[in-house]
Amino acid sequence: ETESIYVISHEYVHYIDYRIDTDSNDDVNWCAESLACYFGNSVAYLDRLAIANSGDESSLTLDDLSRIIGKQYESPLDEIRFQNIMNAHEENHRDSLISLYNGRLSFGDYFVQTYGEEAFIECMLAPQRTISTLGLTMDEIVDGWCVWLEQFKVLK
């Protein structure tokens, strides 16, 4: 039983990760979560759109979402922008990366824009190989993401 179709795509990515079995460990399980959040984004967008249109007074409306992102909320890229903005306003970006959807999706967006989708997949499936893949530690990549997020603080 699920509350949202998003769960299906998210968990399918975890299944692929499990089947590949690249020896990732629990210390970096946020990497697998980041991968699942990033590739589940299109369904997350549809889920948020449905909730925004539901009339539930406790949810953000389409007008709210559009105001926050500074344009009409109308595509999965707008969901990524929304999450980047929300994460930029989190007190501790690193904590949000470890524990929140918005941090994981935002990190995935940064990683793919900066290093490419293939490197993102490789490093999220096998974080212990990040140095051999990119010549950077995962901490250095996360530091770069934290700096990159500053551009989204002026929004909201």
Q: State mean pLDDT over 47-54.
A: 89
Return the percent helix, strand and coil in the chain, to nearest 5: 75, 0, 25
pLDDT at 33: 84
pLDDT at 35: 86
What is the residue-averaged pLDDT of the chain?
84
Model confidence band, residue 99 (pLDDT cutoffs 50, 70, 90): confident
Q: Write down the pTM of the prediction.
A: 0.82
Which residue, among 16, 22, 21, has the nearest Cα to 35 in the 3D structure? Answer: 16
User: Which two structure tokens, joined as six digits, stand for 27?
Assistant: 């210390």
Q: State mean pLDDT over 8-35.
A: 62
Cβ count near 104 (within 10 Å): 26
Q: How far is CA 87 from CA 3, 38, 52, 125, in A?
A: 24, 14, 20, 23
pLDDT above 90: residue 63: yes
pLDDT above 90: residue 76: yes
pLDDT per position as a tens digit, 100-149: 777 889 999 999 999 999 999 999 988 888 999 999 999 999 999 999 99
Which residue, among 99, 91, 104, has the nearest Cα to 145 in the 3D structure? Answer: 104
